[in-house]
Amino acid sequence: MTDLGHSGPAPAAAPAGGLAARLLRLVASPRFQSWASRFPLTRGVARREGEELFDLVAGFVHSQALMALVELRLLHMLLDAPARPAALAGRVDVAPERLSVLLQAGVALGLLKLRRDGRYALARKGAALLGVPGLEAMIRHHDVLYRDLADPVAFLRGETEPELAGFWPYVFGAGGAEDPGIAARYSELMADSQGLVAEETLRTVSLAGIRHLMDVGGGTGAFVAAAARANPKLSMTLFDLPAVVPGARARLQKAGCLDRVTIAAGSFRDDPLPRGADAISLVRVLYDHADQTVADLLSAVHGALPPGGRLIVSEPMSGGDRPHRPGDVYFAFYCMAMRTGRARSAAEIAGLLKAAGFVDVAIPATHRPFVTSVVTARKLS
């Protein structure tokens, strides 16, 4: 039942079918919707469903209003002190009457508050947005994905050339062939948000009993640095493309753990994985790659581990037979735009691990599955 103000003639009589099918046809009737929005026992449900449906319809405008708030740094300005549109207009070069529209939108989205004195202030949700590492950078990055989805039907039919695919050429190339500038942009964007993923992963999986952890595809070392802080006696190896090694060295030096980390440059598509680790982590790696590449990588990881060695996979995942918005809308379309990987369910990843020879495959629940999900496994002793 959906209260969108519709009225009109009822559709033709529904053909015979199951009760569920007949009920859906009834709900799809504009006349029924109009009635449900007025009837005391159904109008609350109809109104709620109508609001949810309208949020889906208007979501693209919400995202653009969010982009404008971030691009103009209005959340930062209002973190310092509440202000009226006229006081902010000159700072952002937007006419006061137009800026008022954006600020009102920010209130409607729950990011801002409108005070009784006419000044706008930062709301708790807006402050939380500023406190999430890398979230503003990701919102700015969305202009690329937004353009790629301008014609979603053509996109789904494979008739477009996604701009995002060109933004991540590291996925396609062999080691040493990537553009250092593009690799740096990738590493910076990933490192900004990797802290949250590392925190969630280490809250979910204990590294107790592990002597040496190798992070494959570890970028500039955000996960390695977090693991080092949480486990002072742990030795580590970071394995990734040569272009990201300087950034990794600088990050780990700043984190004070470079003396505990061996940085190995290479491509897991072309080079053998280093030996010596009794645990390997793949953090936001598998969803970047096609099925065959993933299968080859998991086989290589299995070969690089000693008997009893552990594997940790952490990345955003599809909900599988229980779809959810982060994995089955956002990351599914993002991966499709990259044209190389895809968001897989935890169950599917578990199946791939078993096919690669791993045992004791487990799917521990994370506290924030919209940040990351985790699958663990062990090489047979």
* 299-343 residue pLDDT tens: 999 999 999 999 999 999 999 999 999 999 999 999 999 888 999
| pLDDT confidence of residue 287 | 95
Span 295-308, pLDDT tens digits? 999 999 999 999 99
Asked if residue 277 lies in contact with residue 310, where contact means CB atoms within 8 angstroms, the answer is no
Instruction: Pick the more confident residue, 176 or 365.
Output: 365
| pLDDT confidence of residue 188 | 63
Considering the chain, what percentage of its residues have pLDDT values greater than 70? 89
Percent helix, strand, coil in the chain (nearest 5)? 50, 15, 35
Indicate where the chain has its CATH 3.40.50.150 domain(s): 144-379
Span 135-169, pLDDT tens digits? 888 898 888 899 999 999 999 999 999 988 876 55
Domain covering 72-131, topology: Arc Repressor Mutant, subunit A (1.10.10)
| pLDDT confidence of residue 12 | 45
Query: Distance between CA 166 and CA 179 in Å, rounded?
Result: 11
Burial of residue 157 (CB within 10 Å: 0-12, 13-18, 19+) is exposed
The conformation of residue 273, written as its DSSP 8-state character, comes to P
Indicate where the chain has its CATH 1.10.10.10 domain(s): 72-131
Residue 5's pLDDT band, with cuts at 50, 70 and 90, is very low
Span 103-120, pLDDT tens digits? 999 999 999 999 999 999
Average pLDDT, the chain: 88
pLDDT value at 353 more than 50: yes
CATH class, domain 144-379, is alpha beta
Sequence-separated (6 or more) residues with CB below 8 Å from residue 64: 146
| pLDDT confidence of residue 9 | 44
| pLDDT confidence of residue 169 | 54
pTM exceeding the 0.85 threshold for the entire prediction: no
Asked if residue 300 lies in contact with residue 270, where contact means CB atoms within 8 angstroms, the answer is no
Asked if residue 120 lies in contact with residue 114, where contact means CB atoms within 8 angstroms, the answer is yes
Span 26-65, pLDDT tens digits? 777 888 777 877 878 877 877 888 888 888 999 999 999 9
Query: Distance between CA 112 and CA 105 in Å, rounded?
Result: 9
User: What is the mean predicted confidence (pLDDT) over 66-70?
Assistant: 97
In 10 A of CB 203, how many CB atoms? 14
| pLDDT confidence of residue 177 | 39
Query: Distance between CA 260 and CA 228 in Å, rounded?
Result: 8
Asked if residue 370 lies in contact with residue 328, where contact means CB atoms within 8 angstroms, the answer is no
| pLDDT confidence of residue 7 | 41
Span 73-82, pLDDT tens digits? 999 999 999 9
Span 172-209, pLDDT tens digits? 443 433 455 555 555 566 667 788 899 999 999 999 99
User: What is the mean predicted confidence (pLDDT) over 269-293?
Assistant: 95
Distance of CA 292 to the CA centre of its chain: 23
| pLDDT confidence of residue 186 | 57
| pLDDT confidence of residue 176 | 36
